[in-house]
Amino acid sequence: MQFINPEQAHIKKALEVHKDKLLPILNARINESKHVVLKPFLKKNIEQILIGSPSDLIKLQDTLFKQLPKFKVYLKEKRNTKNYCKSIRRVYSKYLTELLRIIDYDTFSNKKKNSDYDTYRLAQNLNINTCTYCNRLYTKTVVNTIDKGKVVKLTRPTFDHWFPQSKNPLLGLSFYNLIPSCTVCNSSLKGSVDMTLDQYLHPYIDCDINFQFSYKLKAIDQNEFTITNIGDDLNSRSKNTSDFFKLKEIYETHLDEIDDLVKIKKAYSVTYLKNLKDLFMESNQLSNEEIYRLAFGTEINELKFDRRPLSRMKRDLLIELGIIRK
């Protein structure tokens, strides 16, 4: 998983734009509401709902559940016909409909809507080029402007609701609950599974990602790939997260790239990067980071891991192989 530093200038700017663009729209919807519980709650808390920290967000959702005690039951059981209470359904389906009218992620994510702010613009503002969870697949945003200024939205990352929207509808548009990710991690692996801050890493909170990639020679010309958790017990949040997203299993499909690094080690040892540096730095053509990117196709700077897929894996293995220093 990658840390998204909320103190970076462009992330701060993305947060401000998110608030400035959505707050007037949501306030207008709230003012139209006639719901005696939802309206005052949303009116009081809507800005915090949009830009509050992950821990604040779940507190707000819990506060709403306390005011509407059976709403949580409804969200949990509404698809379970055996436990489905008709009286609860009658009342709370109206609550959910009204809440989703106001906190309307479907409209926000509809690329056919002609809006100056939506999931495409959010993705552009965040400018995260690979999946936050796996750093394995590109998630670049592509928007084309064609004749007469018409905008064609082609592709963007999916946005995972870290606190699942199906069980936390209040948080459908919350900035820190929208995690840019690939379809594999978002839909195939995570889906609507509940995650808690005390059990799993959160991309906007956890700057110390306590797992690293490693390998060992299993047999001649056969390498075994592992993910090691550092400085934590076996039940660590790092381990829970890497296990949940099946990082070991998924990264094992890239053993061919690990083999390439081992071959570089055997063929060139420590002289590989030195020779490249000598070649390019005499004329001051390339920096150390650029030489690394040219040699291995990834980033060495942890703050830039999202620029290229597999950057964390390759950095960790290159250190272990002794090709680069930590």
Task: Give the least confident one: 72-76, 167-171, 288-292.
Answer: 72-76
Rounded mean pLDDT of 271-276? 71
3-class secondary-structure state, position 42? helix
Cβ atoms 207, 3 nearer than 8 A:
yes
Burial class (CB in 10 A: 0-12, 13-18, 19+), 307: middle
Instruction: Enumerate residues 6+ apart whose C-beta is below 8 A from 59.
Output: none
Residues 116-152 have pLDDT tens digits of 899 999 999 999 999 999 999 999 999 887 766 778 8
pLDDT at residue 28 in the model: 98
pLDDT at residue 224 in the model: 64
Q: How far apart, in Å, do the first and last CA atoms of the chain sit?
A: 19
Apex 7 CA angle, 5 and 13, nearest 5: 105
Q: Say what percent of the chain tops pLDDT 70.
A: 86
Cβ atoms 51, 19 nearer than 8 A:
yes
User: What's this model's pTM, rounded to 2 decimal places?
Assistant: 0.88
Residues 195-246 have pLDDT tens digits of 999 999 999 998 877 677 777 655 545 566 676 655 555 458 888 998 999 9
pLDDT at 84 over 60: no
pLDDT at 179 over 90: yes
Task: Give the least confident one: 16-25, 145-154, 256-265.
Answer: 145-154
Residues 50-67 have pLDDT tens digits of 999 999 999 999 999 999
What residue has token string 């890497």? Answer: 242
Q: Domains of the chain: which residue ranges?
A: 9-190, 211-321
| Mean pLDDT of the residues in the chain | 86
Structure tokens at 268: 């060139």
Apex 217 CA angle, 211 and 219, nearest 5: 145
H helix intervals, the chain? 9-32, 38-51, 54-67, 71-77, 86-102, 105-108, 119-126, 183, 237-244, 247-251, 255-268, 271-281, 288-296, 311-321
